[in-house]
Amino acid sequence: MCRHAAWLGPPRSLTTLLGEPEYGLIRQSYAPRMQRHGMINADGFGVGWYDPVSGGPVRYRRTIPIWTDANLPGLAGAARSGCLLAAVRSATVGMPVEESATAPFADGRWLLSHNGRVRGEAVRSLVDSAESTCDAAWVAAAVFARLRDGVPLGDALTEVVTHAGTKDPEARLNLLATDGSAVAATTWGDTLFLDTGDDGVLIASEPLDDRPAWQAVPDRHLVLATGGGVRVQPF
């Protein structure tokens, strides 16, 4: 299993997802509070943000535990954006530990993270190839293929998740994806929380702090956050 988080709103640094909150992703990597599968997320990490000049996404991915990267604090403090995405990884048994298997996955303007597991045959019928042999890379490739065909972000996630979840009843398919101006997330087998403050929205596998603003998203729901607000709806 893994943990991930995203921010959409006024520009802020990556530290607001990683080390600044009491239960940011750095702490969730070694002491998650609500993780149902696995106890530690030390098989790599990745962060993504949108460059204010080019407007395109930038990624930084490693296969080491997030707390061991001496370069990350400086990078996270300097990287500022109105759209941020970060993930820490607990690799499913049998899956490779490599950067190409580490979220966020990217294609054009899109970034995507997968929190969960799914059998390969449940997604490989949806797309011809993927960046890695890991299940998350195939899920990402399937979503990206639909986005390239013009399917809206929320609909692309819904189509892939419902197809894979039907083919594999034991699948866990919590996805978190963005194009820089909207963030979409799914709940399918694991936790997800929202903090819809006055200036933006935080979406995370589990709360980054103990403020009462965090709200649990019910299982098998789609979350779509834009500059105009947040919508939560069942599949």
State the amino acid at position 116 in one-letter form. Answer: G
Q: Hey, what are 177's tokens?
A: 């994806």
Which of 209, 200, 208, 186 minimizes the C-alpha distance to 230?
Answer: 200
Phi and psi at 187, nearest 5°, equal -115, 125
Q: Residue 62's CB: how many other CB atoms inside 10 A? A: 17
How far, in Å, CA of 183 to CA of 189, rounded? 19
How far, in Å, CA of 21 to CA of 8, rounded? 16
DSSP structure string for 139-164 = HHHHHHHHHHTT--HHHHHHHHHHHH
DSSP 110: E
Annotated active-site residue 2? The verdict is yes
Residue 161 and residue 154 in contact, taking contact as beta carbons nearer than 8 Å: no
Task: Catalytic residue, from 1, 2, 103, 176: name it.
Answer: 2
- For the chain, percent helix, then strand, then coil, each to nearest 5? 25, 35, 45
Residues identified as active-site = 2
